[in-house]
Structure 1
Amino acid sequence: MSNPMNDEYLTAARDLPEQIWRWDAVDVAAHIRLGTISSREALESCFKRTDALNPRLNAIVFADRERALLAANTADSQVSRGEILGPLHGVPVTIKLNVDVVGEATTNGVPAFAERIAPANSSVVSNLLKAGAINVGRTNTPPFSFRWFTENPLHGRTLNPWSDSVTSGGSSGGAAVSVAAGMCPLAHGTDIAGSIRYPAYVNGIAGLRATPGRIPAFHPTTGLRYLGLQTMSAQGPLARSMRDLQLGLAAMAQPDRRDSMWVPAHMCYPDDTCTVRVALVDEIPGVSLDPAIKTSLNDTAHILEAAGYRVERATPPGMIEGVEIWQSIVMTEVRLGMYAGVRAMADETILRAVGNLVAAAPEMDLQGYALAIAQRDELRRKWNEFLIRYPLILMPSACQLPMRWGEDLGSIEEIKRVLVDQSPLITVAALGLPGLSVPTGVVDDLPMGVQLVADSYREQRLLYAGEIIEREVKMPNLHDRV
């Protein structure tokens, strides 16, 4: 990615070290490597920003600061000794509460898990730490990481820094807010129906859902994983720039054979930077698309066309069918496992939210579940053909503006509408594809964004196009508003 360092950051490093929290991860890592700043200065700057905003926003719900400071001191000693440094050496990152950090509770927003202490690190955490990252804190999530709204009875609600009235997203809401508000430059997230891309969209930042299998996903505290979870769930970074997503992806995607689903796929391909044919999806049959989102999609299409891409209006097959397949597979697995834990919580909000999703999905016997898996494979085959013609898809992140709190707590018909509105996120997840949420501006004081989708393991194609968009779109500075 471009611009490895920015001179204004060098000036700030000399004059205002407390402003390091404003920097990209790429710049923090570069200046630590040069010795312009220390790891401890970077960490303390993020701590100061967190102390100023987190009491209201509640993005980071646990932080072992003593442990983090010791890690920063060690990182600085390694620099002074001239040791080989990882790509994220000394960079503060946040880690979502649904993966394991050794010695810390993996609560996943569930009171019953408050004492579930991880015996070892998850694969992705191990990879981040090997790359030199410093864990600045754990980010909030809805119970079981299964809602578009981040709140739970154990840690409370995470607010959107743009507006208290709209969701901070879910399930990686705490992760997105920690980046958007400047508590860290880079965050870890997970996504099985949009849980990286939707929080990135509603908080005005960038979020990459990597291809399932790209980033190893072994978690010591997690038991057996059902098929849908393994084939649809993915991890990825959230950041304020494409180059930081690039850096985070490279660090997270290192091998870990504890995960049987990890794939040693190429990270880069010769045609990643080719200006390919793009499918512009600004109409979805049977779906109402907010006019502001349609305008943003068309404005983004013009940016890509100016850069040499060939943009055509085209809609991938089965956008709503993908949601139905997702419901059939995932909600069957929820009924078999997670739903018992939801009911045991006796929390009306999560019970209603998950209960609505369960009620909106068909009940499947073994034959129906097996048929849904076969239908998923058939729809993915059709998308494979579509992606041959259109190697890049420009589509909504969601079909409506950020949801107001509690929009998943109404009637069954209302939750069905939400599922349709979220179809661009859900169908991409159902088919196991990578997706990138790119911010494109602000409408009525709320962030606006689009989604880019490509074929499996083609994340670099997404990031290259995302960087082109990023260069042309100047997001308002949220840092001066909160």
Structure 2
Amino acid sequence: MSPARSPLWQWSATDISAAVQRGEIRCTEVVDSIYDRIDAVNPQVNAIVHIDRERARSDAQALDAARQAGQPCGPLAGVPVSIKLNVDVAGEATSNGTPLWSDRIAQTDGEVVANLRRAGAIVIGRTNAPPHSFRWFTENPLHGRTLNPWSADITPGGSSGGAGVAVATGMGPIAHGTDIAGSIRYPAYVNGVVGLRATTGRIPAFQGTAPKRFFGLQSMSAQGVLARRIADARLALQTMAASGASDPLWVDARRDYEDDDTPVSVAWIDEVPGIGVDPTIRQALRDAAQTLEAAGYRIERATAPDFQRGVEIWRAIVMTDCRLGMVAAVDALGDPSLTTPVHNMLACAGEVDLAGYIVAIAARDEMQRQWQALFQRYPLVLMPTSCRLPLQWGADQGTVEQMRELMAVQSPLMAVALCGLPGLHVPTGMAGGLPVGVQLVAPAFREMRLLRAGEILEAANGGLNESRWMDDVP
């Protein structure tokens, strides 16, 4: 269906911006269409949990007036975007999914939000997340459970689960997300959309409501985007990363390189020793390898740095940070859906003293060098997003040993985050009524290389199976 003949909520971000700047559509029309879609679909999936319609429409009217006055509107002119609950939006609560922070009102926009607004984007709502954004499942005592539009029995992903569902069901072409263990890429996977975790430091992450950041957050957490199209993810990245003066960890790094579009050698990884990869995912990786090879990329089977060792290091650092900063708040909340997985993760990590923490940081450095050695030979890596098909609800509510097994299954997600690398999930189709896809990984700050390869896969597979956002959600 061509954009000109479809409702505006179905348009891509690139089409909306271009049409707004040409004067063919008004920003207010776009906002009204998106809210019509939200009203029709969101009650069934609970992805967007806070809306300020008056502010959004006022912003749209201001953009329309600016365009009519001949002023530049920005590369995201009129594009609706949603923001995750763990990032500051001026005048709204940065609750991060916990009632304990429901009155933590942001005085200013976080810089990633400010960058989006400066580019002409219109914030249309906040997306749901688990408390403290710390599960691969999305539910919390404040806003309840978010449902996967493909099946209510499986997770919508987490912690950017609301973002993934919003994009998959047509409630905006672009959603903001964050990722410290797969929280962008996993929701993208289970909802069948594009998910880009940028390099740590690429997009400013500092939030005035949460100024204290322990080492795990500083070194591993990243901002990013979920979208229906690679082109929209590219546009979002360029604007989200535009500036970051308030964040001491933001890197004003080069985005475009002369060889971004050049086919390179690709490490094809479809085995995870000691864990195994589901045959359906292995087939998706095989098909993706063939597609890239047909486009001129040189595909070779390769061995990745030890994913399970990466999980061990991740646990030693992040769970030690959590003991200092988050566990008391988790226990005070008293929500078993969160206390069970968090305490099981703590048990998996064990007690880490100061010497052990320092050793873990050194081990992270060694793991980063192993990835660098791999990238010297293979500038692009094709690998699983997760080792299993989408998880059933409750998969993180079992025993300590079951949590250990779950983290092993998610090790391709965690190993990338551990080293602060950029990762891109690309949907490649459906299997048994559920989405499947693959993950692409590149050296730090080479997101454009990922996006170019992702575009090739997208073109071969048709992108998002749009039946889930063009039709009613069951």
**TM-score, normalization by structure 2:** 0.98
Q: 1:359 aligns with which of 347, 353, 365?
A: 347
What letter is aligned with 1:87? P
- 2:241 matched residue in structure 1: 253
Q: 1:38 aligns with which of 8, 26, 51?
A: 26
- 2:161 matched residue in structure 1: 173
More displaced, 469-478 or 78-87? 469-478
What letter is aligned with 1:290? D
Query: What is the deviation of 1:174?
Result: 0.4
Query: What is the deviation of 1:481?
Result: 5.0
Query: What is the deviation of 1:332?
Result: 0.4
Residue pair 1:207, 1:239 contacting (<8 A) in 2 also: yes
The answer to whether 1:222 aligns with 2:231 is no
Q: 2:48 aligns with which of 56, 60, 77?
A: 60
Q: 1:400 aligns with which of 383, 388, 402?
A: 388
Question: For 1:138, what is the secondary structure of its paired residue?
Answer: strand
Residue pair 2:31, 2:80 contacting (<8 A) in 1 also: yes
Instruction: List gaps (5 residues or longer) in structure 1.
Output: 1-6, 13-18
The answer to whether 1:8 aligns with 2:2 is yes
- 2:63 matched residue in structure 1: 75
Residue pair 1:10, 1:36 contacting (<8 A) in 2 also: no
Measured in 1, the distance between the counterparts of 2:319 and 2:2 equals 50
The answer to whether 1:185 aligns with 2:185 is no
The answer to whether 1:476 aligns with 2:465 is yes
CA deviations on 1:405-449 (whole Å, 9 max, x unpaired) are 010010111111110000100000001100000000000000001
Residue pair 2:3, 2:10 contacting (<8 A) in 1 also: no
Measured in 1, the distance between the counterparts of 2:265 and 2:194 equals 23
Matches within 5 A, 1:100-119: 100-119=88-107
The answer to whether 1:262 aligns with 2:250 is yes
Percent identical: 55
- 2:82 matched residue in structure 1: 94
Question: For 1:448, what is the secondary structure of its paired residue?
Answer: strand
Q: 1:438 aligns with which of 416, 419, 426?
A: 426
Q: 2:127 aligns with which of 139, 144, 160?
A: 139
- 1:21 matched residue in structure 2: 9
What letter is aligned with 1:356? N
The answer to whether 1:456 aligns with 2:444 is yes
Measured in 1, the distance between the counterparts of 2:439 and 2:54 equals 38
Residue pair 2:41, 2:472 contacting (<8 A) in 1 also: no
**TM-score, normalization by structure 1:** 0.96
Measured in 1, the distance between the counterparts of 2:426 and 2:65 equals 37
Count matched residues: 470
The answer to whether 1:381 aligns with 2:369 is yes
Question: For 1:442, what is the secondary structure of its paired residue?
Answer: strand
Instruction: List gaps (5 residues or longer) in structure 2.
Output: none
Query: What is the deviation of 1:200?
Result: 0.2
What letter is aligned with 1:229? L
Measured in 2, the distance between the counterparts of 1:127 and 1:193 equals 24
Residue pair 1:319, 1:424 contacting (<8 A) in 2 also: yes
The answer to whether 1:276 aligns with 2:233 is no
- 1:15 matched residue in structure 2: none
Residue pair 2:427, 2:436 contacting (<8 A) in 1 also: yes
Measured in 2, the distance between the counterparts of 1:347 and 1:423 equals 26
Q: 1:304 aligns with which of 286, 292, 307?
A: 292
What letter is aligned with 1:279? A
The answer to whether 1:206 aligns with 2:194 is yes
- 1:293 matched residue in structure 2: 281
- 2:409 matched residue in structure 1: 421
What letter is aligned with 1:9? P
Q: 2:332 aligns with which of 344, 347, 352?
A: 344
Structure 1's consecutive aligned runs of 4 or more residues displaced over 3 angstroms after TM superposition are none
